[in-house]
């Protein structure tokens, strides 16, 4: 796990073998005042193939990352191609169709709460996705973690109103924590 991040390459390879469409996170800086909006945001953009995935270069966390020059031509899971922005026009309905999101975190509890890395990228994205699909189907949120990252009851991860619970924790010791 480079810099504390789970390697998901085998999950991506398996998804392509099964004919699934795979989207990966892309984080970029927003323009405007950081006082009223976040300074950067995350979008989920499509990989074209397994070869496309394997050609990605690692970022500072060791995570394979899309090259900025390829972003405009990539399908956005919220509709259209390229970046939508926090307040960008989004297409809902059948165009939104994520089934599964691997959600990272530093700590988790048995109530399926998570402590992210502090920037809110995944929670903001999940909330944008939820408002975009309306009553449509939300993707299954799974967090993969080590046993040492899971707090023991009665300890709980503190959460706020914009934080999202995951649907399950898949723990390195073989346990699966579900609702």
* Domain locations along the chain: 2-173
Residue whose token pair is 């975009």: 132
- pLDDT (0 to 100) of residue 164: 97
61: helix, coil or strand?
coil
> Distance between CA atoms of 74 and 81, rounded to whole angstroms?
5
Question: Regarding the domain with residue range 2-173, which homologous superfamily does it belong to in the CATH classification?
Answer: NagB/RpiA/CoA transferase-like (3.40.50.10420)
- pLDDT (0 to 100) of residue 1: 42
- pLDDT (0 to 100) of residue 91: 52
Q: Return the closest-CA partner of residue 77 out of 103, 101, 105, 53.
A: 101
- pLDDT (0 to 100) of residue 93: 47
The stretches in the chain having pLDDT less than 70 are 1-5, 32-36, 87-96, 135
* Total-model pTM: 0.88
Whether 30 and 42 have beta carbons less than 8 Å apart is answered as no
87-128 pLDDT tens trace: 655 554 445 679 999 999 999 999 999 999 999 999 999 999
- pLDDT (0 to 100) of residue 116: 94
Which residues participate in the annotated binding site?
A: 114-122
- pLDDT (0 to 100) of residue 88: 56
Could you tell me the two tokens for 176?
Answer: 């699966």
Which residues participate in the annotated binding site for ATP?
A: 114-122
């Amino acid at each position: 796990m480079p810099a504390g991040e789970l390697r998901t390459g085998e999950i991506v390879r398996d998804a392509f073998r099964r004919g699934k469409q795979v989207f990966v996170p892309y984080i970029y800086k927003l323009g405007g005042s950081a006082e009223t909006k976040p300074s950067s945001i995350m979008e989920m953009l499509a990989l074209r193939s397994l070869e496309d995935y394997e050609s990605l270069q690692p970022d500072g966390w060791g995570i394979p990352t899309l090259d900025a020059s390829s972003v405009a031509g990539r399908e956005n899971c919220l509709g259209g191609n390229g970046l939508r922005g926090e307040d960008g026009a989004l297409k809902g309905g059948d165009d939104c169709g994520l089934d599964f999101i691997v959600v990272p975190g530093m700590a988790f509890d048995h109530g399926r709460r998570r402590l992210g890395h502090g920037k809110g990228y995944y929670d903001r994205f999940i909330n944008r996705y939820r408002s975009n699909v309306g009553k449509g189907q939300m993707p299954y949120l799974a967090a993969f973690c080590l046993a040492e990252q899971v707090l023991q009851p009665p300890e709980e991860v503190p959460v706020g109103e914009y934080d999202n619970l995951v649907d399950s924790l898949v723990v390195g010791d073989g346990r699966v924590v579900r609702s």
